[in-house]
Amino acid sequence: MRVLVAGAGGMLGQDLVALAGARGHDCVGLSHAALDVTDQQAVAAAVARVAPQAIINCAAWTDVEGAEGLEAEALAVNGTGAGNLARAAASIGAHLVQVSTDYVFDGSARRPYVESDPTSALCAYGRTKLAGEHEVLAASSGHAVVRTAWLFGPGGGNFVTTMLRLAAGAGDELAVVTDEVGCPTYTGHLAPRLLDFAQERAGGIFHLAGAGHCSRNEFAKAIFAAAGLSLRVTETTQAKLAMLAPRPPWSVLASERGIEPLPPWQDGLAAYRASAPAVFGR
């Protein structure tokens, strides 16, 4: 399969390019420097030149806090940019897999969210990613939108690296929020399944994240244990930390479409530590 990975310089994009090559696919990875997805003409030209059978879109504005004050700029990437790729893919009969987020939900549920649940994003990041979903499926109902959550892995900044950086200057304790509960997802586990979606030309909305769930506070404790740190993790809330962007307090994902979840998030954390021991000070 000839596959184009947009946003190939990011954490998930790097994993996808490496895995696609290892699987024997003809993969072209384009970073933001090589392809600005907000430029419709550039996207159309790149897709025509590469002529892929499938496109996996990892290009995204991921600065959740920054999007609150720059929603138009975030929308250009997460909404319009996704639409540009989706329409270009449809024009040549290529299948597109759009990576989306649990932040399209408001977190008011107390059971796992499934694909048919109504969306209601709380923050600008979530709203712009939801706009991207709409753009992609409007371009072709055969395209796929894969909602995932709390990505971490080698090749980029993530919650794990943030916690370890904060721990280095935190002294004996660090306050981490308890009112965010979700599904940490290892990019090394997600990437193979995204390639499967691309190859199978699966269409519609799918939920796919690490099995199990935890709060950010619980996740931080597991991270510090993996790094061999004895730091005490205390409880706090989003309100106490005065976060600009409201996050859904509960964004656990499940699938009603028979999609098997990824391995448990604890397995993902162990795999991350094994693949990048230096991150954990090992």
- Strands (E) in 112-259, as ranges, are 144-148, 151-152, 173-177, 181-182, 185-186, 204-207, 210-211, 214-215, 232-236
Percent of all residues in the chain with a pLDDT value above 70, rounded to a whole number: 100
- Strands (E) in 41-184, as ranges, are 54-57, 95-101, 144-148, 151-152, 173-177, 181-182
pLDDT tens string 104-150: 999 999 899 999 999 999 999 999 999 999 999 999 999 999 999 99
**Angle, in degrees to the nearest 10, between helices 187-200 and 265-275:** 110
0.75 cut: is pTM over it?
Answer: yes
Residues 6+ positions from 138 with CB-CB distance below 8 Å: 83, 86
Residue 155 is predicted with a pLDDT of: 86
Q: 186 - beta bridge partners?
A: 152
Decide if pLDDT at 282 tops 80: no
6 vs 2: CA distance, rounded Å? 13
Residue 112 is predicted with a pLDDT of: 97
Decide if pLDDT at 189 tops 80: yes
Residue 171 is predicted with a pLDDT of: 78
Look up 113 and say whether it is catalytic.
no
Percent of all residues in the chain with a pLDDT value above 90, rounded to a whole number: 93
Decide if pLDDT at 11 tops 70: yes
Q: Using CA atoms in the order 165, 225, 62, 268, what is the torsion angle rounded to 10 degrees?
A: 140
Average pLDDT over residues 169-178: 88
Residue 201 is predicted with a pLDDT of: 96
Domains of the chain: 2-156+184-212+251-262 (3.40.50.720)
Residue 176 is predicted with a pLDDT of: 95
Average pLDDT over residues 11-28: 96
Decide if pLDDT at 172 tops 90: no
pLDDT tens string 201-252: 999 999 999 999 999 999 999 999 999 998 899 999 999 998 899 999 999 9
Q: Over the range 227-255, which residues count as b (16 or more CB within 10 Å of their CB) and which as e?
A: bebebebeebebeeeebebbbbbbbbbbb
Residue 156 is predicted with a pLDDT of: 87
Could you say which of 113, 125, 186, 272 is catalytic? 125
pLDDT confidence band for 170 (50 / 70 / 90): confident
